[in-house]
Every structure is written in structure tokens, then in C-alpha cells.
Amino acid sequence: MKRSTRLLVAIILVLLLAVVSVSVWAAPGRQGSVPVPPRTYPGEIGEEINIGIGTVSTEGTSGRVNVKLIKDPSKKFGPATHGIYLLNYAIDVKVVQGSVNSVEVCVPLNPDWADKEMGPEIQWYLWDSDAEAWVDVETSIKEGVPPMICGTSDQAGVFSLQGQ
Amino acid sequence: MSDKNQGKNKFSLVLVLIQKSSIRKPLTLLTLFFILGLAYGLTLAPGLTWANNGADGGDLITAAATNGVAHPSGYPLYLLLAELFQRIPVGTLAFRTNIMSAIFTMMAAALIFLFLEQWLDSSLSALVSALAFGLSPLVWSQAVITEVYALHALLTTGIICVFLAPVRKPLLYLGQGILFGLAVGNHLTTLLLSPLVLLIQLEDKEGDRIPQDVLRKIILPIAFRFLGVLIGLLVYVVLPLRASAWPPVNWGNPVTLDSFFWLVSAQIYQEFALSLSVLETIQRFQGLAGLLFHQFTFIGLILGLYGLFSNTSSAARLSTIWVFVSFNLFAIFYAYADSFVYVIPASISFSMWIGIGLHDLLAVVSSRRNRIRSALLLALLAGIIVRSLWILPEVDASKDQRAEIFGEKLLASAPKDAIVVTDTDEETFALWYFHYALRQRPDLMVISEGLLQFDWYYQTLQETYPGLVIPEYESFTTAQEVVDANPSNPVCFATYQGVDVLVCDETILSDSDATYHDSLSIIP
């Protein structure tokens, strides 16, 4: 390439850069070397707590619960009982004060799960820390907009939706 | 002969000596060191700083000083070198580590100078190139604080230079590999330079492009380089060795294969890769264009792009293009707020192109008038220096005392035996520096809320503060839960909100600080 051609190409490229350039570096949200603390969802026993990906309802004596989302449950608890974790989170319901006799965890029913049968194909589980295994809990579908798939247990703990 | 004429003759003699003799190169190199030394010296942070996105400095300084492990990927080479600099008996611990960045950046600029001087046989063009690099705002900003990017720039420049060196000796190939492995031990993005490991200059003295002896000319060099890379990577062994002594800064506690891999692969930051939306990606490309203008100015960009299209050797051109494109693309697609610092290696390539372009353009002028050539070069040098005066306030870290004031005030006013909960990098690392590295207020217990989600952090806290009760749950523990489990200890929530430095009470934060309140997830 001749010198004059090279110079012309360089000038044109620089002009093009000047047209599109901005002095801002797009940066989504707060970040740092220290990760953002995971969100927790405190609430009263007896009320429905919105946890973003669904709801948690409790019944029992008056008191408080705290709900935490555990990302990537397979890393913390090992492989799912029958196949895969259908949610990328396990839901930890912890009683801070008082006691509960019923805990219901619900998430919207994904259309991809609509044809699945309750049981191995789609099922809520509760983590048994002594046995270090998932124990299945009562699972049902609540009609509504959207329909919700709910797991119910008489105790608090870590809930996980699993299936095939 | 009059005094005036005598003076004129002496000046001419000096000029002739500079232009012709062997002192030209060292003299120009000294000029480079003087200019950069002055610029960096005037703007170097005197202590711990948050200037120029330097919040990680507290982590790096403390990890080096306490034989610890820094945030992922661990930065083993950086920590070892920082420890050496921290032994210099001058200034504060932070100052000594800041100096390291200035020296490494000057060395990187000197390498660019020496490489181009050899290549172009033009000291002044090489000087302009080295100054364009060393005084570009981004490079300068990282040269005056504690961060890994100065060493990254030095090692990247070293890799470009030695991999393009026309020498064919097994020991050199081994050395090239070792340098590459060590560079990976400083920053993982060095892996973007991997294609250079496979770069073999096939052209021999006779100009024969197809080597007769494939084993000797291709396979053995690459094998020696790979062996060298493996040797260089051994620097990572220091991480588990350091971790085994339970230092207070012990990211990942890399004593098992799993935790070691978690640390060195920077798993917690991998979610940032390729997670930008299309719109944000477009904005990043536009931002990169803006960044290039800011680094090199209109004239610098024209010179650089002109130099890119010059008739340089194919290996040099391909290598510098690869460095420029790969690092820029990585910076664009890595969705981290200050990922623009990853373009620093790309600036090395661009600075080299500026030198090449300038040399090529001046060749036209020099064939006609030597004085015009000298005048143009001097004008360009003067322009770079004048511009640096304009950039100086932007990169100046010498007056930033926010981190020092924050750490000292907070530690001074925290009640005895308090648990101090931190949130962001700024707060956490500043307190680590004063508490762990400088050993101030050993009665306090500093807890990072964001790190409580990791098992290794529980273990580190338990080793560091044996008296602290940390409840363990299936999920993770919040700071409030730790506070609840230690009712006899006063509690401080350390936060930094702009110029308001101190928010530390024996109770929880005030309601007016709603943002921080939310992030702490305090149970009402």
C-alpha cells in the first residue's frame, strides 16, 4: 500500500471512530472483588413472603422466618435425586423466632413442565441433613395466573424442586 | 573566537555526539526514565488509595504482607514480588507496594523503547512510542497505585519482545515459555497470548520459508516452550503453601484440588464473561473508541493506524494485531465495571504502531530536510509532555487520602472487642490493610458480609478469631446471624458513603442509610 493511501485510510478510520465514540464504559450494577452478599427474605410466620422466584408461606406460632436462596444446589448438596434440579436455586426456610407447623414453597409452573407427572418427573424435596439426602414432600399444582407448583412440609428446611 | 561562538560550537558538538555516538541510546533511555519518573513520582499514592479504581490494593498489599492469598486468581507472582518491595525501608507499607507499579510500568516503557529502537534504528521514534504508552491516561493511572496491571504490562511487553526475537536456541525457547508461565501467574488474561507460544519464525537466513528440518525447527521449539510454560506455572504452588499457614487473607483456602481450581480459575468472576446485553455490548464498542481517543489523541490514533498498515514483518504485525484485538475484545465482553483496564496490553501494541508509523512518515521528510524532521519530532514530544500536564489531575493519586482516613478513623473509634462488618471492596480491603497488615486494633474482628457465603471464609475467620462464634447453616450465614451469635461483642457496620467516612455504632445502622441496610439483610 502506498504511503498516501495508508495515511488516507488511517484518517478515515479515525474519523469513523470519532463519530461512534462515547466517553462512557457500560457497566451493569454494583460489582467488586468481594461479591455482593446473597439476598435474604425475612418475614413473619403466617404471612406470604415474596422471594422473587416464587413465594413462601408458613403457619405456626407468632414469630419470624428468614428465607435464603442457595444458588447452584448441586454444588452444595450433590446430584439431584432423580435427574436434575429444575430450579437453579434451593430455598432455605429458617425459623428465627417461634415455631412452624406448615411450610409451603411455591414457584410458577414452567410451561415445559406442564406435561410432567408428579413424582420422579417433577417433585419438591426437603434436605435431610442427618441422612444427607433429599426427602420428597407433598407436591401439588395450584391453579391461577400463572399456575404454581407447590411443596408442603410440616417443618422448615431447605426445599428443592427436582425432576427429569 | 567570541564566547557566543564557542558556546554554539560546544552545543553543536553535543548534538553531533548524541546523534552519532553510542551514547544516543542510553541518553534517550535516561530521558524516558526521567520523564516517566517525574510524572509517576508527582502522582504516586503515598499510602493506601482508592484512586484510579484501586480498591483492590488493600487486598493485594495485605495478602503480600501477611503471607496470604489474594482474591482470585490468587496472583502468586505479584504477591512474591510485592513482598520484596515491601522490604524497602521507605514510607508506609502501601507506599512501598505502590512504587512497584511505577517501576514496572517504567520497565515496560523501556522495553518498548529498546525493542523499537532495535527494530527501527531510531531512538526518537522509539522514545515517542514509549512515552505514548507510559503517559497514556490508563497506563499512568495504574502506575501510581497498587494493582496488578503494571506487572501485567511489563510481562506482556516482555512476551511480545522475546517471542519476536529472531533467535533460535533451545534455552531461549525455554526462557520464552517460563516467562509466559510466570505471566499467567500474574494475570489470567495472559492466556490470550497463547497463540504466540506456537509462533515460530520459519524464515531462515537463506529466505527459505519451508524448513527442511521440521523436528528441529518447529517441534522442538514448541516443545521447549511448553516445558518452559509448565515451569513458569509452578509459581502457583506458592498459593497452597501460603494458605496452609492460615493467613487472615486466604481467598479460597486453596489447599485442596477443588479449592485450588476454584481460586486460580477465578470461578466467582466467570459469570461476568459474555453476560452483557446486545445494547451494552454496542455501548462497550463505542466506549472503546472513546477510550482510544482519550489514550492516544487524534494525532496518536492516525499515527498508530498508519503504522499498523506499514510494511512491517508479518510476525510482528500479526502478533501486535492479535494482542490488540484479543485484549480489547476481552475487555468489551467481560461485564465487569472496570474491565477497561484489560485494554492496557492492547495499548502496548498501539504504542508500537505509533512508533512505526512515525518512523515511516519521518522517512519521507528526512530524505528532504533533516531539520524539519527534528523539529517535527521535538514538537511531537513537546505535545506529549504538554498533554501529560493536562492528564495529571485525572490520574493523580498523591492527594487521595480517603482510604487512609476511613481506616484510621474507623479503627480508632470502634469500641473494644467489636465485630466490624464490611460490605464493599473499599471498606473490606481498607480495614484488612490496617487491621491485618499494620496490625492495628487486634481486639477487633473484621467480617466481610459478602464473603460469608463461602465455606473457606468461615474456616479463615475461625482460625483468625478463635473466640468468634459463627453459626453454620445449610445455606449461608448472614452478618446479622454472626452478630446475634456473639451478643457480648459490640457491633459496627463499616460503610463509606462519599465523603462521609464514619458510620460505626454499637447498634445497627441508621434508617437513613437504606441502601446499605438492604444489602445487609438485617432482620427487623
Nearest chain B Cα to A126, which residue? B474
* Partner residue facing A26 (CB), from B268, B283, B303: B283
Nearest chain A Cα to B304, which residue? A10
A20-24, B39-43, B97-101: the lowest-pLDDT one: A20-24
Using a CB-CB cut-off of 8 Å, the residues of chain B touching A42 are 521, 523-524
Residue B65 has pLDDT above 70, yes or no: yes
Over residues B433-448, the mean pLDDT reads: 95
A121-130, B83-92, B464-473, B515-524: the lowest-pLDDT one: B515-524
Query: In this complex, do B293 and A18 lie within 8 Å of one another by their Cβ atoms?
Result: yes
Find how far residue B432's CA is from the centre of its chain: 21
Residue B203 has pLDDT above 60, yes or no: no
Cβ contacts of B405 within 8 Å, gap of 6 or more:
B501
State how far residue A73 is from chain B, nearest Cα, in angstroms.
9
Q: What percent of chain B has pLDDT over 70?
A: 87
Predicted local distance difference test score (pLDDT) of residue B511: 33
Query: In this complex, do A26 and B287 lie within 8 Å of one another by their Cβ atoms?
Result: yes
Average pLDDT, chain A: 88
- Determine contact: A12 vs chain B, CB below 8 A: no
Q: Cβ distance B30 to B386 under 8 Å?
A: no
* Partner residue facing A66 (CB), from B451, B479, B523: B523
Query: In this complex, do B449 and A94 lie within 8 Å of one another by their Cβ atoms?
Result: no
Instruction: Convert the pLDDT of each residue in B81-99 to its tens digit.
Output: 999 999 999 999 999 999 9
Query: In this complex, do B451 and A34 lie within 8 Å of one another by their Cβ atoms?
Result: yes
* Partner residue facing B473 (CB), from A18, A30, A94: A94
Helix (H) or strand (E) holding B318: helix B314-333
Residue A53 has pLDDT above 70, yes or no: yes
Using a CB-CB cut-off of 8 Å, the residues of chain B touching A7 are 302, 306, 361
In order, the DSSP letters of chain A are --HHHHHHHHHHHHHHHHHH--S-----S---SSPPPPPEEEEETTSEEE-SSSEEEEEESS-EEEEEEEE-HHHHH-S-TTSEESSSEEEEEEEEES-EEEEEEEEE--GGGTTPPBTTTEEEEEEETTTTEEEE-EEEEE-SSS-EEEEEESS-EEEEEEE-
Helix (H) or strand (E) holding B62: helix B57-65
Cβ contacts of B415 within 8 Å, gap of 6 or more:
B490, B492, B506
Interface test with chain A among B475, B484, B516, by most A beta carbons within 10 Å = B475
Q: Cβ distance B474 to A127 under 8 Å?
A: yes
Q: Give the CA count within 13 Å in the CB-facing half-sphere of A18.
A: 12
Predicted local distance difference test score (pLDDT) of residue B178: 96
Query: In this complex, do A32 and B425 lie within 8 Å of one another by their Cβ atoms?
Result: yes
B2-11, B29-38, B317-326: the lowest-pLDDT one: B2-11
State how far residue A5 is from chain B, nearest Cα, in angstroms.
9
Query: In this complex, do B301 and A39 lie within 8 Å of one another by their Cβ atoms?
Result: no
Q: Which residue has cell 407436591?
A: A139
Helix (H) or strand (E) holding B492: strand B491-493
Query: In this complex, do B286 and A22 lie within 8 Å of one another by their Cβ atoms?
Result: yes
- Determine contact: A17 vs chain B, CB below 8 A: yes
Query: In this complex, do B301 and A34 lie within 8 Å of one another by their Cβ atoms?
Result: no
Predicted local distance difference test score (pLDDT) of residue A114: 76
Cα gap B116→B126, rounded to integer Å = 5
CA end-to-end span of chain A: 62
Cβ contacts of B310 within 8 Å, gap of 6 or more:
A6, B356, B357, B360
Cis peptide before B73 (omega within 30 of 0): yes
- Determine contact: A4 vs chain B, CB below 8 A: no
Query: In this complex, do B280 and A40 lie within 8 Å of one another by their Cβ atoms?
Result: no
Which residues 92-151 of A have a C-beta within 8 angstroms of B? 92, 94, 96, 127, 129
Predicted local distance difference test score (pLDDT) of residue B169: 80
Checking B368-376 for CB contacts under 8 A at 24+ apart, the result is none
State how far residue B520 is from chain A, nearest Cα, in angstroms.
7
Predicted local distance difference test score (pLDDT) of residue B1: 45
Using a CB-CB cut-off of 8 Å, the residues of chain B touching A70 are 474-476
Over residues B365-394, the mean pLDDT reads: 83
Over residues A152-164, the mean pLDDT reads: 91
State how far residue B497 is from chain A, nearest Cα, in angstroms.
14
Query: In this complex, do A25 and B475 lie within 8 Å of one another by their Cβ atoms?
Result: no
Phi-psi region of B77 (alpha: psi -120 to 50; beta: other; left: phi over 0): alpha
Residue B519 has pLDDT above 50, yes or no: no
* Partner residue facing B292 (CB), from A17, A30, A64: A17
Cα gap B102→B143, rounded to integer Å = 5
Using a CB-CB cut-off of 8 Å, the residues of chain B touching A13 are 305
Which residues 57-116 of B have a C-beta within 8 angstroms of A? 59, 71
Query: In this complex, do A32 and B294 lie within 8 Å of one another by their Cβ atoms?
Result: no
Cα gap A45→A40, rounded to integer Å = 15
pLDDT band for B188, please (50, 70, 90 cuts): very high
- Determine contact: A89 vs chain B, CB below 8 A: no
Over residues B316-323, the mean pLDDT reads: 90
Average pLDDT, chain B: 86
Query: In this complex, do A21 and B360 lie within 8 Å of one another by their Cβ atoms?
Result: no
Using a CB-CB cut-off of 8 Å, the residues of chain B touching A24 are 283, 286-287, 290
Cα gap B37→B43, rounded to integer Å = 10
Which residues 204-223 of B have a C-beta within 8 angstroms of A? none
pLDDT band for A57, please (50, 70, 90 cuts): very high
The 3-state DSSP class for residue B115 equals helix
Nearest chain B Cα to A65, which residue? B523
Which residues 481-520 of B have a C-beta within 8 angstroms of A? 519-520
A96-105, B74-83, B138-147, B245-254: the lowest-pLDDT one: A96-105
Cα gap B80→B84, rounded to integer Å = 7
Cβ of B456: how many Cβ atoms within 10 Å?
20
- Determine contact: A75 vs chain B, CB below 8 A: no
Cα gap B223→B503, rounded to integer Å = 58
Query: In this complex, do A35 and B59 lie within 8 Å of one another by their Cβ atoms?
Result: no
Over residues A144-157, the mean pLDDT reads: 90
Predicted local distance difference test score (pLDDT) of residue B8: 53
Closest by CA to B105, choosing from B389, B395, B400, is B395
pLDDT band for B499, please (50, 70, 90 cuts): very low
Residue B508 has pLDDT above 70, yes or no: no
Q: Using the 8-state DSSP alphabet, how is residue B421 labeled? A: E
State how far residue A22 is from chain B, nearest Cα, in angstroms.
5
Question: The C-alpha cell of B173 is what?
Answer: 525457547
